[in-house]
């Protein structure tokens, strides 16, 4: 059983960098320029995002979301391995993904949230932003926005996600094989052509 599809999805989904990569030495990230946005609309949008991702809890909440998603992928893509030590090693590595990615998430989070506010301005009219902001600042609205990202960890959602991910594993393997076969065929064809001088 090949572990390549699992590793490929982990890399693609989580953008895992090499172990020696650091985010601290890269300096500050540029701020988001929300072109064409009126200051009042952007303020409303940022207020909505602030309710969904409250200051002080943003990183922790998104870290928990990342942990839930990683666990669902790990559980769904459980390989058939007869070596329990190798299985334990791979499980430990998958469980460490949120910790490994936390510094990267923390570094990019302000821009991600600002870009989300900008997207709200692009997507909703000023009147809609006012209505959404008013709802967001009610008890039900603030709870709805704050809890919505956490629903991925709900057991019902997790079970459905795991069913999807199990099927995705097969599709990913077939797609990987198809890409490999096409690349090999292309390279063989290219190599067989006489070189032009």
Instruction: Tell the residue number behind the tokens 């019902």, with chain if given.
Output: 156
Least reliable range by pLDDT among 42-56, 68-82, 108-122: 68-82
CA nearest neighbour of 68 among 158, 175, 191: 158
pLDDT > 70: percent of the chain: 85
Helices (H) and strands (E) in the chain, counts: 7, 0
CA nearest neighbour of 71 among 61, 63, 60, 83: 63
Q: What is the mean pLDDT of residues 123-137?
A: 96
Side-chain-side CA neighbours of 101 within 13 Å: the count stands at 25
Q: What is the mean pLDDT of residues 139-162?
A: 90
Distance separating the N- and C-terminal Cα atoms of the chain: 45
Which tokens sit at 177?
């094989």
Give the residue, 131 or 25, on which the prediction is more confident.
Answer: 131
Backbone angles phi, psi at 82, to 5 degrees: -90, -5
Q: What is the pLDDT of residue 119?
A: 94
Residues 6+ apart with CB under 8 A from 95: 70, 71, 74
Which tokens sit at 106?
């923390």
Residue 76: band (very low, low, confident or very high) from pLDDT cuts 50, 70, 90: confident
Q: What is the pLDDT of residue 25?
A: 53
CA nearest neighbour of 72 among 171, 169, 158, 163: 158
- Residue 16 pLDDT > 70: no
């Amino acid at each position: 059983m090949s572990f390549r599809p699992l590793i490929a999805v982990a890399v693609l989904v989580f953008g895992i960098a090499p172990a020696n990569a650091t985010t601290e030495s890269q300096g500050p990230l540029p701020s988001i320029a929300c072109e064409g946005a009126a200051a009042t609309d952007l303020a409303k949008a940022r207020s909505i995002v602030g309710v969904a991702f409250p200051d002080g809890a943003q990183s922790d909440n998104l870290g928990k979301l990342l942990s839930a998603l990683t666990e669902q992928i790990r559980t769904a893509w459980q390989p058939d391995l007869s070596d329990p030590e190798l299985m334990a090693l791979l499980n430990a590595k998958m469980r460490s993904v949120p910790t490994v990615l936390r510094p990267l998430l923390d570094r990019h989070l302000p821009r991600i949230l600002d870009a989300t506010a900008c997207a709200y301005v692009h997507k909703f009219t000023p009147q809609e932003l006012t209505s959404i902001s008013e709802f967001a600042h009610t008890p039900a609205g603030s709870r709805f926005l704050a809890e919505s990202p956490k629903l991925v960890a709900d057991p019902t959602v997790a079970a459905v996600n795991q069913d999807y991910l199990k099927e995705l594993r097969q599709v990913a393997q077939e797609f990987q094989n198809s890409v490999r076969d096409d690349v090999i065929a292309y390279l063989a064809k290219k190599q067989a052509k006489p070189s032009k001088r």
